[in-house]
Structure 1
Amino acid sequence: MRAEIVGVGTEILLGQIANTNAQWISKELAHYGISVYFHSAVGDNLERVVQTFEQAGARSDIVIITGGLGPTEDDLTRDAASMLFQTSLKEDEKAMSKIEEYFKKNSRTMTENNRKQALVLDGSVVLQNDEGMAPGQMYHFKDTLYIFLPGVPSEMKRLMSEQVFPYLVHNYQLESEIKSEMLRFVGIGESKLEHELQDLISQQSNPTIAPLAGEGDVAIRLTASGPEAAELLASLKSEILQRVGSHYFGSDSITVEEAVQDILVQKGLKAGSAESLTGGKFIEKLISLKGASSICEGGLVAYTPSAKKSILKIPAEIIETYGTVSEECAAKMAENAQKLLDVDIAVSFTGVAGPAESEGHKPGLVYIGLKAQDAPASVFRYYFDGSRDKIRGRAVIKGYELLFNYLKNAE
């Protein structure tokens, strides 16, 4: 079964909303063994909507359309479908009664255009909408099943879950299940990861392997189909982790800061930071997580030399002798942050984000300090390429990588 998902609405093309409907539908269809080959979006133009529906039907067994079922003139989904299928629209009595009841209960006057929401294709299977006004509908045309759904996510999800999926299960032979898992890695580049797994990638069939680059991390999407999909995924995942498991921090939607939080909770530890060029970006990620107060005391931001002296209590002789962009300063920042915040682990950042040089150092030089429990502070030196924001962002990710690796290996 080949499926395609079409989002109708100029607001999608303008970037005013994200088409999260397509993401959700694709994920759910995979559980039923239905592969999604295309996602498309079309604006509120009748001719283009008709063309998009026609193209989708020519290449897909199932076409799921969301949006364009409202009461206004630019809600064109019904009209486009009527033109393509050469069938008329009729008023659905149940839908119309519900719309009238809504306005009556809310003591509002119903305008004539609201009747439009009750229109359905003659001969369609009507999907009554218990969450909203416009019903969904299904229509067979030239061996393709067209499914029309409201664009409101809550309405769409309920119709899909309670009416569309049961219909598909009852009327189609859905032979296999598709399972997918995203393995996430940090501290290894996409090219290096591909090199380590090249033989598996070149021989792939089922499951398939797709390397993906992210912001600071890399991922591998594993996808398997068939009755043994779960077992196939587990076997391949095990083989991959035997090779590059030291860089693995979790699966699917987990972030590296969430992985750090999980270990801090398990070990009963608290973390904090001392930040210069990163300006609080490191600790902001940790504080954004639910339950952060149990593992994070806070962070200290000291950007200038005078702030480092007054806030972080960095001795003047360290700054005068070695400078603020130095291994010695980074170590003392981490040590003092641990004491001042009374935490088990502190991470520090100092460096040059640019655009100009600082203390004779070119942009991109970053020192990251790590002071954990009673051990001496460790300092790591890096050179990051890119813009000012990219240098700062990469420093933050590297800080989480260092913290994750320490926590993972700590007794």
Structure 2
Amino acid sequence: MNSEIIAVGSELLLGQIANTNGQFLSQQLAPLGINVYYHTVVGDNKTRLQEAIKQAKKRANLIIITGGLGPTKDDLTKEAVAELLNCSLNYDMPSLQRIEAYFVNSKRTMTENNKKQALVFEEATVLNNDHGMAPGMAICKDGIHYMLLPGPPKELKPMFTTYGQSYLLAHLHEQSIIHSRVLRFFGIGEAKLEEVLIDLIEAQSNPTIAPLAGDGDVTLRLTVKHNEKVEALSLLDELEAKILARVGSFFYGYDDTSLMQELVNRLLTKKIKIATAESLTGGLFSQQLTNYAGVSEVFSSGVVSYSNEMKEKILSVSKNTLAEYGAVSNECAIEMAEGIRRLCKADVGISFTGVAGPNQVEGKGVGTVFIGVALPNGESKAFSLNLSGTRGQIRERSVKYGCYYLLKEL
């Protein structure tokens, strides 16, 4: 099946709400082996909606339309589709009874337009709405499947997973399923990653490789279509092994993980206590670290030491170091990391010092960053970076690099 998702609602076009339904449905359709080639957004206008459906019919045999099933005048989706498909609308009595029961139970008067929500296409498969009023529906006309779903995500998501998915599985023309795996990398750019893997990318067929760039991260989505799960996973394993043989040193995790999540997992697994000394990042590393449940077992304490005076008093950075090398230096970063490790009696200390901008500091340019780590074996290291971007981006990227260096060292 090739599908198109049409989202209905002027509020989407005005930017008042985001089209998260489209994202959700694409994520759900991929494992079913259904290709999503187009997303369309159209306002609450019957003529434009019908034109969008006519266009979709030329390139898809599954059209999913979200929104416009409510009781008001601008909720016109099913009327527009019924007219286009030349099919009548009838009341689905179980749905109508649920709507009536809702108003009785809530002691509210039911207006006549609420009955409209129970209208469905004649001969359609009704998709019950267990979290709202308007049912969804699915129908096949001239070889094209149409599925109508309500707009509110709290109604659409359970309706699709409970009823819509079953309908599609029953009508799939092929039973091959799409399996995906995301490999996450850091410390290598998208262009360099593609250069190293270009022969694999150019030779791809099944599985396929799709590079995706993030803010500092680069991901590869490996996708295979197969009707046997074991064979599909074997094909993914084989391709992954070829990739990691070349760029495994930059690999840090799978799917929806993050560098900080992987660092927290590593600290918890190894029972390593960490303490942080932050100047450049102003506590951002500690803030992100403490977003994760259970981190209190491994996070000792953090100090934001912005001034040189506090670097000396709290972290025991020597006056000679500050005078000779400055606060923005490898030497200061190492002493900050060692100082916080001793102060907090932690296994690991990490420090951040540098220039986030907008002006130079100590003659060092914006984006100059030093990260210090004091390790459980007593060894200390500093890593220097020259980052670009805004003040916020430099700080964010510094935190990511801190996670990356610690993961490699631990």
Class of the TM-score when normalised by the shorter of the 2 chains = over 0.9
**Equivalent position to 1:401, from 396, 404, 407:** 404
Deviating more after overlay: 293-302 vs 344-353:
293-302
CA distance 1:372–1:151, shift in 2 (3 Å): same
- Corresponding position: 1:328 with 2:331: yes
1:198 shift after superposition: 1.3
- Corresponding position: 1:130 with 2:133: no
Map 1:134-153 to 2 at 5 A.
134-153=134-153
Map 1:69-218 to 2 at 5 A.
69-218=69-218
1:381 shift after superposition: 1.4
Map 1:256-271 to 2 at 5 A.
256-271=259-274
1:161 shift after superposition: 2.9
Kept in 1, the 8 Å contact 2:268–2:295? The answer is no
1:296 shift after superposition: 1.6
Distance 1:144 1:340 in 2: 69
Deviating more after overlay: 241-250 vs 88-97:
88-97
Deviations 1:204-228 (A, max 9, x none): 1111111111111101111111233
Distance 1:341 1:151 in 2: 52
**Residue type of the alignment partner of 1:215:** D
1:81 shift after superposition: 1.2
2:32 match: secondary structure? coil
Deviating more after overlay: 111-120 vs 164-173:
164-173
**Cα-Cα RMSD:** 1.9
Kept in 2, the 8 Å contact 1:3–1:62? The answer is yes
1:331 shift after superposition: 1.1
Partner of 1:21: 21
Distance 2:283 2:13 in 1: 35
**Residue type of the alignment partner of 1:157:** K
Deviating more after overlay: 128-137 vs 85-94:
85-94
Deviating more after overlay: 59-68 vs 305-314:
305-314
**Residue type of the alignment partner of 1:211:** P
**Equivalent position to 2:363, from 360, 363, 376:** 360
**Equivalent position to 2:319, from 313, 316, 320:** 316
Deviating more after overlay: 97-106 vs 80-89:
80-89
Distance 1:187 1:261 in 2: 19
Deviating more after overlay: 13-22 vs 388-397:
13-22
CA distance 1:270–1:45, shift in 2 (3 Å): farther
Distance 2:380 2:400 in 1: 19
**Residue type of the alignment partner of 2:368:** L
**Residue type of the alignment partner of 2:121:** L
2:315 match: secondary structure? coil
Percent sequence identity is 46
Kept in 1, the 8 Å contact 2:185–2:219? The answer is yes
**Residue type of the alignment partner of 1:35:** N
1:103 match: secondary structure? helix
Kept in 2, the 8 Å contact 1:351–1:367? The answer is yes
Kept in 2, the 8 Å contact 1:338–1:344? The answer is yes
TM-score normalized by the length of structure 1 = 0.93
CA distance 1:105–1:31, shift in 2 (3 Å): same
Partner of 2:66: 66
Map 1:30-45 to 2 at 5 A.
30-45=30-45
Distance 1:347 1:126 in 2: 58
Distance 2:340 2:172 in 1: 62
Distance 1:42 1:306 in 2: 60
Distance 1:226 1:211 in 2: 21
CA distance 1:84–1:262, shift in 2 (3 Å): same
1:59 match: secondary structure? coil
Deviating more after overlay: 98-107 vs 150-159:
150-159
1:322 shift after superposition: 2.4
1:2 shift after superposition: 0.8
2:352 match: secondary structure? strand
TM-score normalized by the length of structure 2 = 0.94
Map 1:231-242 to 2 at 5 A.
231-242=234-245
CA distance 1:380–1:226, shift in 2 (3 Å): same
Deviations 1:103-162 (A, max 9, x none): 100111112222221122234222222221101111223321100011233432332233
Unaligned residue ranges in structure 2 (runs of 5+): none
Kept in 2, the 8 Å contact 1:95–1:134? The answer is yes
Deviations 1:143-187 (A, max 9, x none): 211000112334323322332232333333333111111100111
Distance 2:171 2:213 in 1: 39
Kept in 2, the 8 Å contact 1:34–1:174? The answer is no
Deviating more after overlay: 359-368 vs 81-90:
81-90
- Corresponding position: 1:303 with 2:284: no
Deviating more after overlay: 41-50 vs 173-182:
41-50
Distance 1:347 1:216 in 2: 20
Distance 2:15 2:315 in 1: 43
1:335 shift after superposition: 0.8
CA distance 1:325–1:242, shift in 2 (3 Å): same
1:194 shift after superposition: 1.1
Kept in 1, the 8 Å contact 2:208–2:223? The answer is yes
Distance 1:99 1:315 in 2: 74
CA distance 1:14–1:334, shift in 2 (3 Å): farther
